[in-house]
Structure 1
Amino acid sequence: MGQRKQQTLSRKNWMAFTGLFLCLYLVIHLAGNLQLFLPEERAHRQFNLYSHILSGNLIIKAISYILFASIIGHVVYAIIITVANNRARKVRYYYDRRGTASKWYSRNMGLLGTIIFIFLVMHLRDFWYVYKFGQLPMDADGHKDLYVLVVGVYSELWYVILYVICMIALCYHLLHGFFSAARTLGLYHPRYAQAIRIFGWVFSIVICTGFAAMPLYVYCLK
């Protein structure tokens, strides 16, 4: 029993570490993509230059491997923990009161995570894969014209709607994940629990609103 608890704790720690690393990546990714809100001509040149610099930087390439490993690890550990919890739950109660003790998004992390994962696969296919292996035109500076690709994809209303829905799912996923990681790592102390709660809400809303605003802005602009 003790060994099983230790394994569960270890898995939760890895979930917390990978999740926090992914949160850090979201901040960096959003900061770079904010260039899309610049005036069109300036956004076109700077966004392509930014993408070109990232694609040729050895440090960024190393971080990208860590990123992909973190995504895979986060998903795998989430599945393992979910399966283990379901197997351990031998007693089924006829009347379930969990809804009065926990938020709905805490009880539906599997669904939210699945939505985010499917969106992530689509997102990587539509942008990262095309940029790396597709045939993109060159801009006036001789860089791959990722900006044109982004504008083309975000000009599709169905994609914009899907993007916004997925950002809402991500927001709720971040809310639960942030608080869960804080508890797992022993950071959720009563003295500053309120501060952590406020920071978690602000972080989740700002990040997801920022990402959701990008396709809406491009679609309305075009």
Structure 2
Amino acid sequence: MTQTTLTRKIWMALTGLFLCFFLVIHLLGNLQLLLPAAESQLQFNAYSHLLSGNILIKIISWVLYASIIAHVVYAIIITAANTRAQKQKYHYDRRGTVSKWYSRNMGLLGTIIFIFLVIHFRDFWYVYKFGQLPLDARGNKDLYTLVMEVYSQTWYVGVYVICMVALCYHLLHGFFSAARTLGVYHPKYVRWIKVLGWIYSVGICAGFAIIPVYVHFLK
């Protein structure tokens, strides 16, 4: 592996791990949508207001946006390099038959997630930042009502759940790949890394998927 390739993989791992950390924080905030309606509305809107008005949170947000862009760019570069390399591999190279299907289709999974992010940012982040949302009883922008309206659409909930399945497999591969790149995928700890990877990936994605399903059918 060349130094340039290793550097790209390290940046992919670091930005990916930062995004994994962000997903935990984002999920914890969104779980407020599962509370009773009146309480959920005020708490979720207050949480959204805090994220938009705190300078420290804004700095973290800029790091988040930079991480997403860097992760996508490095993913494209590495995928293109791997594609060129695969065209030159020997006919007896059977790595594709023993690797996991989601490892061989990270480009497809990443594309699904990227499209989902564009839709997600458009429907919520853009509207919250630049749209005309009404205010709740505390004077905060009523993002809660917008979320309820969007999640009332069956097709949107279905797409959301499918994208969370794609994200789950993407996280699985990324978690293990980052561990190898950063040198912590040691045989002594590999079993626990795999367990942690599965718990994190399934837990995060199931948590996100449950929210729109619960809102759509039970709220």
- TM-score tier, shorter chain, comes to over 0.9
Q: What does residue 82 of structure 1 align with? A: 79
Q: What does residue 121 of structure 1 align with? A: 118
Deviation at 1:89, TM superposition (A): 3.1
Quick one: distance in 2 between partners of 1:138 and 1:193? 50
Q: What does residue 60 of structure 1 align with? A: 57
**Cα 1:134–1:15 shift into 2, 3 Å:** same
**Cα 1:189–1:96 shift into 2, 3 Å:** closer
Equivalent AA in structure 2 for residue 211 of structure 1: F
Q: Larger deviation: 81-90 or 7-16?
A: 81-90
Q: What does residue 5 of structure 1 align with? A: 2
SS at match of 1:135: coil
Deviation at 1:54, TM superposition (A): 1.3
Equivalent AA in structure 2 for residue 176 of structure 1: H
Q: What does residue 219 of structure 1 align with? A: 216
Deviation at 1:68, TM superposition (A): 0.3
Q: What does residue 100 of structure 1 align with? A: 97
Q: Larger deviation: 168-177 or 85-94?
A: 85-94
Aligned pairs for 1:150-189 within 5 A: 150-189=147-186
Q: What does residue 16 of structure 1 align with? A: 13
Quick one: distance in 1 between partners of 2:207 and 2:144? 18
TM norm structure 2: 0.97
Q: What does residue 196 of structure 1 align with? A: 193
**RMSD of aligned residue pairs (Cα, Å):** 1.3
Deviation at 1:82, TM superposition (A): 1.1
- The one of 27, 30, 38 equivalent to 1:30 is 27
Quick one: distance in 1 between partners of 2:97 and 2:28? 38
Quick one: distance in 2 between partners of 1:82 and 1:206? 27
| Correspondence 1:137 to 2:134 | yes
Equivalent AA in structure 2 for residue 116 of structure 1: I
SS at match of 1:34: helix
Deviation at 1:62, TM superposition (A): 0.3
Deviation at 1:85, TM superposition (A): 1.8
Q: Larger deviation: 211-220 or 4-13?
A: 4-13
SS at match of 1:139: coil
Percent sequence identity over aligned pairs: 71
Q: What does residue 69 of structure 1 align with? A: 66
TM norm structure 1: 0.95
Q: Identify unmatched segments of 5+ residues in structure 2.
A: none
Quick one: distance in 2 between partners of 1:169 and 1:15? 18
Quick one: distance in 1 between partners of 2:121 and 2:66? 15
Equivalent AA in structure 2 for residue 175 of structure 1: L
Quick one: distance in 2 between partners of 1:64 and 1:105? 29
Deviation at 1:121, TM superposition (A): 0.6
Quick one: distance in 2 between partners of 1:159 and 1:69? 27
SS at match of 2:167: helix
Quick one: distance in 2 between partners of 1:36 and 1:134? 21
